[in-house]
Homo-oligomer: A and B are copies of this chain.
Amino acid sequence: MNTKAKNENPVISLDGVSKWYGDFQALKDINLEINLKEKIVICGPSGSGKSTLIRCLNRLEAHQEGKIHVSGVELHETMKDVDIVRRDIGMVFQNFNLFPHLTVLENCMAGPNWVRGIDKKEAEKRAVAMLEQVKIPEQADKYPDQLSGGQQQRVAIARSLCMEPKVMLFDEPTSALDPEMVSEVLDTMVELANSGMTMICVTHEMGFARQVADRIIFMADGEIVEQNTPDEFFNNPKSDRTKTFLDQILI
């Protein structure tokens, strides 16, 4: 496990970030720095703002106060180059969001070919390589609807990887899956972590967290309540809320 390295040129940094939905404050003064190759797991009770937080990182949601920097570029309302920032940040959704009218291969080629301007041959080669990495090269010519949930989620991961992102965001990638399929997706993610990818995962799979996380962040009510290494986090939680949460989840 890497040691935490604070403040040496982080990929992502949040500085006093707050966000409101109407009158409701979903994020409260979040400060956070994430370094290259770090693996972060975010957990916390439902409604605590986990999804909101990671969706702010590629500006699928807008924050209203504070600053978010990604690779040194600030995310703000009128930025011109949000597309470029987004290309550097892969995102995997809870319910996959594959493009149903494209085959698996086309799903994976779309990004490189359409926005990175890589030619079709090259894009296809890369797509096949990524599908091999997630272990479903044989499904390349099927449509998403013809795959199981676990296969779909692995395609979604491959699709993001084809863009060669610096950071991968996962928002509960296994929670819409049948249990038999959870492990195949988690395996893929572990492999990805071992390959050195910077990852930020919202998940309740505590086994996974123990195995790969450099840091676990516990959120509640829009705040970061506690962050620590997995060992410390599980064995020696500091705040009461963390303890209660852990008690519930590790029954």
A177 — which chain B residues lie within 8 A by C-beta? 178
In the complex, the count of this chain's copies comes to: 2
- Minimum C-beta distance from A173 to chain B (A): 12
- Minimum C-beta distance from A245 to chain B (A): 14
A182 — which chain B residues lie within 8 A by C-beta? 179
- Minimum C-beta distance from A93 to chain B (A): 15
- Minimum C-beta distance from A12 to chain B (A): 29
Q: A190 in the interface, Cβ–Cβ < 8 Å?
A: no
Q: A175 in the interface, Cβ–Cβ < 8 Å?
A: yes
Complex Cα distance, B46 from A178, in Å, reads: 15
Q: A246 in the interface, Cβ–Cβ < 8 Å?
A: no
Number of interface residues of A (CB under 8 A): 6
Provide the A47-90 mask, 1 if CB < 8 A to any CB of B, else 0: 00000000000000000000000000000000000000000000
Residue of B nearest to A178 (CB): B175
Q: A32 in the interface, Cβ–Cβ < 8 Å?
A: no
Residue of B nearest to A175 (CB): B178
Q: A193 in the interface, Cβ–Cβ < 8 Å?
A: no
Taking CB atoms and an 8 Å cut-off, the chain A residues in 23-61 that contact chain B are none
Q: A102 in the interface, Cβ–Cβ < 8 Å?
A: no
- Minimum C-beta distance from A194 to chain B (A): 24
- Minimum C-beta distance from A164 to chain B (A): 32
Complex Cα distance, B176 from A137, in Å, reads: 25
- Minimum C-beta distance from A176 to chain B (A): 7
Provide the A156-193 mask, 1 if CB < 8 A to any CB of B, else 0: 00000000000000000001111100100000000000
Residue of B nearest to A176 (CB): B178
- Minimum C-beta distance from A221 to chain B (A): 21
Residue of B nearest to A46 (CB): B148
Residue of B nearest to A182 (CB): B179
A175 — which chain B residues lie within 8 A by C-beta? 178
With most chain B CB atoms within 10 A of its CB, the pick from A175, A176, A178 is A178
With most chain B CB atoms within 10 A of its CB, the pick from A176, A177, A179, A182 is A179
Provide the A190-201 mask, 1 if CB < 8 A to any CB of B, else 0: 000000000000
A179 — which chain B residues lie within 8 A by C-beta? 179, 182
Complex Cα distance, B177 from A177, in Å, reads: 7
Complex Cα distance, B175 from A87, in Å, reads: 35
4 smallest A-B Cβ distances: which pairs? A179-B179, A175-B178, A176-B178, A179-B182
